[in-house]
Chain A
Amino acid sequence: MTAPALTTRGLTIGYRRRRKGDLVLARSLCLELARGRLIGLLGPNGVGKSTLLRTLGGLHPALAGRVRLAGHDLARLSPRALARQLSLVLTFAPQPALMTGYGLVALGRQPQSDWLGRLGDVDHAAIAWAISAVGADELAASPLAALSDGQRQKLMIARALAQEAPVMLLDEPTAYLDLPRRVETMQLLKRLAHSAGRAILVSTHDLDLALRSCDQLWLMSATGVVTGAPEDLVLAGALGETFDAAGFRFDQDSGAFIQASSPGRLVCVRGGGAQAIWMRRALERSGYALSDEPGAINVARRNDGETGWKLTIAGRASAHSTIQSVLAALEDGGA
Chain B
Amino acid sequence: MAGADRARQAISPSSREFAGARLYVLPALLILLGALLLLSLALGSAAIPLDQILRALLGGEADSPAWTNIVLKFRLPKSLTAMLAGAALGAGGLLMQTYFRNPLAEPFVLGLSSGASLGVALIVLTSGGVGGALLAGLGLAGDLLLTAAAGAGAALAMGIVLLVALRVRSGVTLLILGLMFGYLVSAMVSLLLYFALPERIQAYINWTFGSFGGVTVEQLPILASVTLGGLLLSAALIKPLNALLLGDEYARSLGVDLPRTRCGIVLAVALLVSAVTAYCGPIAFIGIAVPHLCRGLLASADHRLLLPGTCLTGACVAICASLIAELPGNNLVLPLNVVTAILGAPVVMVVVLRRARGIA
Contacts and interface: CB of A to CB of B under 8 A. Distances in A.
A and B touch in the complex (CB under 8 A): yes
A103 B18 CA distance: 7
A102 interface: yes
A107 B246 contact: yes
B295 interface: yes
Given A94-B247, A96-B246, A141-B19, A131 B238 contact: no
Interface string B13-41: 10011011000000000000000000000
A108 B16 contact: no
B6 A90 contact: no
Interface string A113-134: 1011111000011011101110
Nearest to B304: A116
Contacts of B3: 131-133, 135, 137
Interface in B297-326: 299-302, 304
Interface stretch (B83-91, B141-149, B250-258): B250-258
Interface in B202-249: 236, 238-239, 242-243, 245-247, 249
A97 B360 contact: yes
Given A141-B20, A143-B20, A79 B252 contact: yes
B1 interface: yes
B8 interface: yes
**B7, B239, B255 pick with most chain A CB within 10 angstroms:** B7
Nearest to B235: A116
Given A88-B250, A116-B238, A141-B10, A124 B295 contact: no
A132 B4 contact: yes
Given A97-B301, A100-B20, A110 B11 contact: no
A144 to B, nearest CB: 9
Contacts of A113: 239
Interface string B252-292: 11111110000000000000000000000000000000000
Given A80-B255, A108-B254, 11 more contacts: A59-B249, A79-B256, A107-B243, A110-B255, A124-B13, A129-B7, A131-B4, A132-B4, A137-B10, A140-B7, A143-B20
Interface of B: 1-4, 6-8, 10-11, 13, 16-17, 19-20, 236, 238-239, 242-243, 245-247, 249-250, 252-258, 295, 299-302, 304, 359-360
